[in-house]
């Protein structure tokens, strides 16, 4: 028991420079893939403008020539960010392009929430580097603590997004979310049929549009326990901030939750899962690997026969 409590004691993140490099590389990859490069020109009505697009006129970004320039600037900016050169400056093109095209896509009415967690995390990273620079710790070549703070800021944004999602579920249902879970069967049918009609091939698959929804309505309490666990996990996502061990445990649980939802609802969570793998699971795996190699070393050097 004492060992468990000791293990669960909040600690620090203590990410090393190699871990931070992998995190930056991974985030840069997710950002590049997450940008809506295929968005076609359109004339949004002012009432329909969303978020960033409401503040700044952005439709010029959709011109083919401009898109090529943005792609080059974003690629160069992300490359320099990965190697740690002046992220206060080099993150501006990727952040502007990501938020600009994302806001335009939402303004077009195609809104999905798949990229928003990544956009918020990137924004948090940029702000953390700015805070570091303002504190005169230097902006051209950030120090290890500056890189670490930037990734902590990203994790903070991720944790907050889960908690806000959990709170909003309770708020929208006046605390009856878990009670209402059996109605999720309808959403499951909707989600799977939507996916089918996006790329129809053969017959409509019945496993997730008939069998599983029927199981949920016939076994409402099983559904409440399964999906209720997901809600509790969201509300407890602040534990991501309690150091690398908690981040590993909570991050793994959240990734498993996303994998389960993806299977049932046919929704993609690549950005959520990618970020959790980079910031929570990868450092945990490094710890396990180190522990194993240390114990292996001890065995090899071990006590004399």
Partner 1 sequence: MSPLTLESRPAWQWWLASCLLVAPLLIAIGDHYPFSPFPMYSKFDSSADILYVTDQNDKPLALSSLFGVGSAQAKKRFERELLDVAKTRDYEKADAAAVTTASTRFLNGLWKDRKSKKTNALGVNTLRLHMITVSLSEDSAFQRQDSLLGEISVTPDPQPE
| Window 20 to 49, contacts with partner 1 (CB under 8 A) | 38, 40, 42, 45, 47-48
Are 75 and 85 a contacting pair, CB within 8 Å?
A: no
Nearer to partner 1, 12 or 287 (CB): 12
- Residue 69's H or E segment, with its range, is helix 64-82
Residues 176 to 205 in contact with partner 1, rule: CB under 8 A: 177, 180-187, 189-191, 193-195, 197-201
Count of H helices and E strands in the chain?
15, 0
Distance of alpha carbon 34 from alpha carbon 10, whole angstroms: 33
Residue 121 makes CB contacts below 8 A (sequence gap 6+) with 27, 154, 157, 158, 275
CB of 296 to partner 1, least distance (A): 31
Measured in whole angstroms, how far is the alpha carbon of residue 282 from the centre of its chain? 14
* Nearest one of 214, 189, 210, 205 to 265, comparing CA atoms: 189
Distance of alpha carbon 162 from alpha carbon 164, whole angstroms: 5
Are 62 and 102 a contacting pair, CB within 8 Å?
A: no
- Examine residue 217 and tell whether it contacts partner 1 (CB under 8 A): yes
Nearer to partner 1, 127 or 277 (CB): 127
- Examine residue 110 and tell whether it contacts partner 1 (CB under 8 A): yes
Report how many residues bind partner 1 under the rule CB under 8 A: 85
* Nearest one of 119, 130, 120, 128 to 150, comparing CA atoms: 128
* Nearest one of 293, 285, 292, 288 to 252, comparing CA atoms: 285
- Examine residue 206 and tell whether it contacts partner 1 (CB under 8 A): no
* Nearest one of 287, 294, 222 to 249, comparing CA atoms: 287
Name the one range near partner 1 by CB under 8 A: 17-25, 83-91, 123-131, 280-288. Answer: 123-131
Cα-atom radius of gyration of the chain, to the nearest Å?
22
Nearer to partner 1, 24 or 272 (CB): 272
- Examine residue 16 and tell whether it contacts partner 1 (CB under 8 A): no
Secondary structure letter of residue 277 according to DSSP: I
- Examine residue 223 and tell whether it contacts partner 1 (CB under 8 A): no
Q: Quickly count: other Cβ atoms within 10 Å of residue 128's Cβ.
A: 24
Name the one range near partner 1 by CB under 8 A: 20-28, 61-69, 85-93, 166-174. Answer: 166-174
- Examine residue 275 and tell whether it contacts partner 1 (CB under 8 A): no
Nearer to partner 1, 168 or 297 (CB): 168
Name the one range near partner 1 by CB under 8 A: 73-81, 83-91, 164-172, 281-289. Answer: 164-172
* Nearest one of 191, 181, 195, 206 to 265, comparing CA atoms: 191
Pick the binder of partner 1 from 21, 163, 226, 286 (CB under 8 A).
Answer: 163
- Examine residue 173 and tell whether it contacts partner 1 (CB under 8 A): yes
Pick the binder of partner 1 from 171, 290, 291, 298 (CB under 8 A).
Answer: 171
Nearer to partner 1, 13 or 81 (CB): 13
Q: From residue 235 to residue 274, what is the string marking binding to partner 1 with x (rule CB under 8 A)?
A: ---xx-xxx-------------------------------
Residues 86 to 105 in contact with partner 1, rule: CB under 8 A: 98-99, 102-103
Nearer to partner 1, 109 or 296 (CB): 109
Residues 47 to 76 in contact with partner 1, rule: CB under 8 A: 47-48, 50-54
């Amino acid at each position: 028991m004492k060992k468990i409590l000791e293990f669960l004691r909040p600690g620090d993140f203590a990410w090393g420079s190699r871990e931070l490099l992998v995190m930056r590389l991974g985030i840069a990859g997710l950002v590049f893939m997450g940008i809506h490069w295929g968005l076609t020109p359109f004339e949004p009505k002012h009432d329909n403008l969303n978020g960033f697009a409401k503040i700044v006129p952005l439709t010029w970004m959709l011109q083919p020539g401009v898109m090529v320039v943005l792609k080059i600037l974003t690629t160069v900016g992300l490359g320099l960010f990965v190697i740690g050169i002046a992220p206060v400056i080099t993150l501006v093109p990727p952040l502007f392009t990501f938020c600009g095209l994302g806001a335009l896509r939402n303004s077009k009415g195609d809104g999905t929430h798949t990229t928003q967690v990544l956009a918020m995390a990137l924004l948090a990273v940029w702000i953390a580097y700015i805070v570091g620079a303002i504190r005169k710790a230097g902006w051209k070549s950030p120090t290890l603590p500056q890189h670490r703070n930037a990734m902590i800021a990203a994790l903070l944004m991720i944790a907050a997004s889960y908690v806000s999602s959990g709170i909003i579920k309770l708020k929208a249902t006046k605390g009856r979310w878990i009670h209402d879970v059996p109605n999720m069967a309808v959403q499951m049918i909707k989600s799977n049929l939507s996916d089918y009609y996006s790329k129809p091939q053969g017959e409509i698959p019945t496993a997730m549009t008939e069998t599983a929804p029927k199981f949920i309505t016939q076994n409402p309490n099983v559904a409440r326990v399964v999906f209720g666990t997901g809600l509790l996990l969201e509300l407890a996502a602040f534990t991501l901030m309690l150091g690398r061990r908690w981040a590993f445990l909570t991050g793994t649980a959240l990734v498993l939750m996303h994998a389960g939802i993806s299977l049932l609802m046919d929704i993609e969570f690549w950005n959520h899962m990618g970020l959790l793998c980079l910031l929570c699971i990868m450092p945990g795996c490094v710890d396990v690997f180190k522990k194993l190699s240390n114990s292996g070393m001890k065995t090899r050097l071990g006590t004399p026969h």
